[in-house]
Structure 1
Amino acid sequence: MTATEPGAAATASVTAGLAFCELHVHIEGTLEPATIIALARSKGIELPYADEAAFARAYRFDDLQSFLGLYYDNMQVLQNEDDFFELGAAYLRRAHAGGVMHAEMFVDPQAHSKRGVFERVVLAGLHRAIAIVGEETGMTASIIVCVVRDEPVGDAMRMLDNVLESGFTVVGIGLDSAEVGYPPSLFSGVFERARAAGLHTVAHAGEEGPAEYVREALDLLGAERIDHGNRALDDRALVARLARDQVPLTMCPLSNVRLKGIPDIRSFPLRPALDAGLLVTINSDDPAYFGGYLDDNLRAVIATFELTRPEVEALAANSVTASFTGPGAH
């Protein structure tokens, strides 16, 4: 929906005056085609896609794995601190324009260190973006380093050690990438080390994997938030636990549609999750790939489910409650 389409004005009125925290956004997933093309040209990198239209045609995914191949290939243009600064600053400015007051950004250091771009370089660029855009806008942000779960466990531990030794602050550790066949239990030692270092813990679980992966993330990783978590709704006992403990779910509607986790936006399980008393937040995941930033995702669910102003206010409040370093820090 654009600003000129029917219903856009009404949707804007529902979100007016509200400030959201974005808790599930992969900074590499904010790498827009125009930026990829510009960075590739500046570095002499030959791309398989000639222009933005060709990228758009490639962004038709069948599942999570079909997306991940392109996602990691595109990262080759990120090679130095300035690249990560520009990436982070562009996202933060766009997010702020869409009503985000605080963002907790995921980053995949392993995807970069294997190319010789080490943790301290990535973190230096993102920290500079947070500082400069924060001065411009008053927006705050922090970083969650994610374990790439389809890489060896030893690599994850080395990444964590390098991050902790880098001198740059991160607020937490997460778990992402290809889910099926890579249960949370594989990384219990890494997360134990992270918790001992004072990091918050989150994990992708129940996006494509079963509800049992959500339970493992809670019990074995000590996850304080579940990223996605859709499949948790298949398990009544797990739903009751999530509701009782008010474990936040960082859900991503447009992402679920584009990756065919659900057939269409009407199938997004927002109503069942809210009706069950779950602490749901709305997020963009990888907005450059999935068709929208946080405000776009909000417009989609508001229009589809005819959310009332109090319901949208509750989603905004949930995002603050679930945050680690924003106004609702806990």
Structure 2
Amino acid sequence: MNAFSSDQALRDFVTGLPKAELHLHIEGTLEPEMIFELAQRNGVKLAYASEQALRDAYAFTDLQSFLDLYYAGASVLITERDFHDMALAYLRRAHADGARHVEIMFDPQTHTARGIDIETVFAGLASAMRMARDQWGLSSCLILSFLRHLSEADAFETLAQALPLREQYADLWIAIGLDSAERGNPPEKFTRVYAKCRELGFRLVAHAGEEGPPEYVRDALDLLHVQRIDHGVRSEEDPELMQRLIRQRTPLTVCPLSNLKLRVVDQMAQHNLARLLRQGLCVTVNSDDPAYFGGYLADNYTEAAKALSLQPQELGMLARNSIEASFLTANGKMSLMAELDRYLAEAPLAD
């Protein structure tokens, strides 16, 4: 049953929710228009004749078919200005969607493998993030993510390249993540580099339980000691794991439109987001790679709400979970929770 009088009423309620986005790959925000703009700026020849031809290629059969296109799109990112423009375009959209805080994953190996200096990546992203903070009050942080289809030695090398920049970007770079192709690349492959990152004081997250089995979720917790699971939707296949996630309040950063586009589910109505939420898991809603998956943060909330009959108080709970699961300071969380409480108390559909 839909508690909203219209789709627009739902959209307005969702946009007004003070919330955080915790699972967002910045390279996955490159819209076809920007890909072509940057390709022209940098003299990069693309395999597609037009923006529409590129958009038509977004018919993915699985995670790998998406990743192949994702890495090709990232080839247009060369200068500090490119990274700045990409990040600012996303931050502007997140702000319009009602995000108060965003945690941005980026894949330096995608760029250093092409000869791009890691400092170019940091500098471009950071300038946009600081601008968004100063102009719109949108706080953000960086999650440096290792590509799991590459070796742990490569991850260590990337960490070594990045660490000299840590002090310069201490206001932004606070976490480590693990992404890319899950199949055949279990968490245990990165046990040592995660131990090092933990020793260095970084917050830790990892993709697990999207295409990989529930065991990957358990191993990410036990071997990598992550504080948050990215995706994690296959945890439902293991009742014991589910009870552990509920008991420990381990956050899952769920991405509904991504799961639909990559065939994790065939229809949004089949998604387990509502079941997970109603069982007491700390699930959050996020957009993953919005340029490729057909929707940014507010789109994911609204499409999930429509398909799964999420009620206003449940949408409020998802927003609350996003704040709780974030890497904001205790004071930052308290302030944002208070803003959310005020909004829910005053929103006409919140009772």
Do the aligned residues in 2 keep the contact of 1:147 with 1:156 (CA within 8 Å)? yes
What is the identity percentage for the equivalent residue pairs of Structure 1 and Structure 2?
Answer: 46
Q: Name the residue aligned to 1:128.
A: 127
Distance in 2 between residues matched to 1:42 and 1:80, nearest whole Å: 10
Aligned residue in 2 for 1:325: 328
Q: Residues 71 and 16 from structure 1, CA distance in 2 versus in 1: closer, same or farther, beyond 3 angstroms?
A: closer
Counterpart in 2 of 1:118?
A: 117
Structure 2 residue identity aligned to 1:232: S
Change (3 A) 1:185 1:75: same
Distance of 1:9 and 1:81 partners within structure 2: 38
Structure 2 portions without partners, runs of 5+: 335-351
Q: Deviations for 1:180-222, whole angstroms, at most 9, x for unmatched residues?
A: 1000001011111111111000000000000000000000001
In structure 2, the residue matched to 1:78 is 77
State the partner residue of 1:209. Answer: 212
2:268 and 2:302 mapped to 1: Cα distance?
A: 11
Match of 1:309 in 2: 312
Larger mean Cα displacement after TM superposition, 230-239 or 130-139: 130-139
Deviation at 1:302, TM superposition (A): 1.2
Alignment of 1:287-306 (within 5 A): 287-306=290-309
Query: What pairs up with 1:1-330 in 2 under 5 angstroms?
Result: 7-15=6-14, 17-166=16-165, 167-169=168-170, 170-325=173-328, 327-328=332-333
* 1:275 positional shift: 2.5
The Cα of 1:15 is off from its aligned counterpart by 2.3
- 2:202 counterpart letter in structure 1: L
Q: How much does 1:271 deviate?
A: 2.1
Corresponding residue SS for 1:179: coil
Is the partner of 2:116 in helix, strand or coil?
Answer: coil
How far is the alpha carbon of 1:276 from its aligned partner? 2.0
Q: Secondary structure at the match of 1:24?
A: strand
Are residues 39 and 298 of structure 1, via their aligned partners in 2, closer, same or farther at CA, if it must alter by over 3 Å? same
Gaps of 5+ in 1: 1-5
> Which stretch shifts more, 57-66 or 36-45?
36-45
Query: Could you tell me whether the CA contact under 8 Å between 1:239 and 1:276 is conserved in 2?
Result: no
Q: What amino acid does structure 2 have at the position aligned with 1:149?
A: R
The answer to whether the Cα contact below 8 Å between 1:14 and 1:308 also exists between their aligned partners in 2 is: no
Structure 2 contact 15–298 (Cα < 8 Å) conserved: no
Measured in 1, the distance between the counterparts of 2:209 and 2:117 equals 30
Instruction: Please state whether the residue corresponding to 1:218 is helix, strand or coil.
Output: helix
Count of aligned pairs between the two proteins: 324
Q: Write the deviation string for residues 106-135 of structure 1: whole angstroms up to 9, x where unpaired.
A: 000111101111221111111100111111
TM-score (norm: length of structure 1): 0.96
Contact persistence 1:24–1:250 (CA under 8 A): yes
Letter in 2 for 1:94: R
Contact 1:150 1:177 (8 Å CA) reproduced: yes
Distance in 2 (CA, whole Å) between partners of 1:325 and 1:120 is 25
SS in 1 for 2:223: helix
Residue identity opposite 1:259 in structure 2 = L
SS of structure 1 residue aligned to 2:260? helix
3-state SS of paired residue (2:145): strand
Between stretches 79-88 and 287-296, larger displacement belongs to 79-88
What's the offset of the Cα at 1:160? 1.2
TM-score, length basis structure 2: 0.90
Whichever residue aligns with residue 274 of structure 1, its letter is: L
- Give the AA of the match of 1:296: D
Residues 231 and 252, structure 2, Cα contact 8 Å, conserved in 1 = yes
Cα RMSD (Å): 1.2
| Contact residue 25 and residue 284 of structure 1 kept, 8 A | yes
AA paired with 2:324?
T
Runs of 4+ in 1 over 6 A off after TM superposition: none
Taking structure 1 as reference, are residues 16 and 37 closer, same or farther at Cα in structure 2, changes over 3 Å only?
closer
Structure 1 letter corresponding to 2:293:
F
Secondary structure of 2:141's aligned partner: strand
- What secondary structure does 1:171 align onto? strand
